[in-house]
Amino acid sequence: MLERNEKKILAATVVAHALDHVSELSFPAVALLISQEFFAGQENYERIGFAAFVAAFCFGVANLPSGRLVDWIGSRRVMLLYLLGTGLALILTGLAPSYPAFLFALGLLGSLAGLYHPSGTTLISLGVREQGRALGIHGVGGNLGLALSPFLTAALAAAFGWRHAYFALSLPFFILALLIWLGKVEAHRREATPDPNPGAAPEKPYLLLPLLILFAMAIMNGLCYRGFLTFLPTYFAKSIHTALPGREVLLAGSLSTAVLLLGMFGQFLGGHFADRWSPAKIFAGVFLLSSPILFILSRLQNLPLLFAAAGFAFLYFANQPVGNVLLVRLTSAPVRGRIFGLFFFVNFSAGSFMGWIAGLIGQRLSLSAIFSVLALCLFLAGAIGLLFILSLRGKQMPGADSS
Nearest to 138 by CA among 13, 225, 22: 13
Residue 280 CA to residue 202 CA, distance in Å, equals 26
pLDDT of res. 312: 93
179 burial via Cβ count (<10 Å: 0-12, 13-18, 19+):
middle
Query: Is residue 398 domain-resident?
Result: no
Mean pLDDT by 10 residues, the chain (403 residues): 79 92 82 76 70 85 86 86 95 91 92 91 80 78 79 84 91 94 68 43 66 90 86 81 64 79 80 78 91 90 88 89 83 78 82 79 84 93 91 68 46
Residue 70 lies inside a defined structural domain of this protein = yes
Task: Answer yes or no: is 193 within a domain.
Answer: no
Q: Count the neighbouring beta carbons within 10 Å of the beta carbon of residue 91.
A: 17
How many domains are contained in the chain? 1
Q: What is the pLDDT of residue 253?
A: 72
Which pLDDT belongs to residue 187?
64
* Cβ atoms 109, 93 nearer than 8 A: yes
For residue 400, being part of any structural domain is answered with: no
The CATH number of the domain holding residue 47 is: 1.20.1250.20
Domain membership of residue 85 (yes or no) is yes
Whether 326 is covered by a domain: the verdict is yes
Looking at the domain assignment, is residue 22 inside a domain?
yes
Q: Is residue 9 part of a domain?
A: yes
CB atoms under 10 Å from CB of 183, counted, come to 11
Q: What is the pLDDT of residue 292?
A: 94
In this structure, which amino acid lies at residue 13?
A: T
Host domain of residue 281: 4-187+204-391
- Per-position DSSP letters for 22-81, written without gaps between them: HHHTHHHHTHHHHHHHHTTT---HHHHHHHHHHHHHHHHHTHHHHHHHHHHH-HHHHHHH
State the Cα–Cα distance between residues 183 and 26, nearest whole angstrom: 28
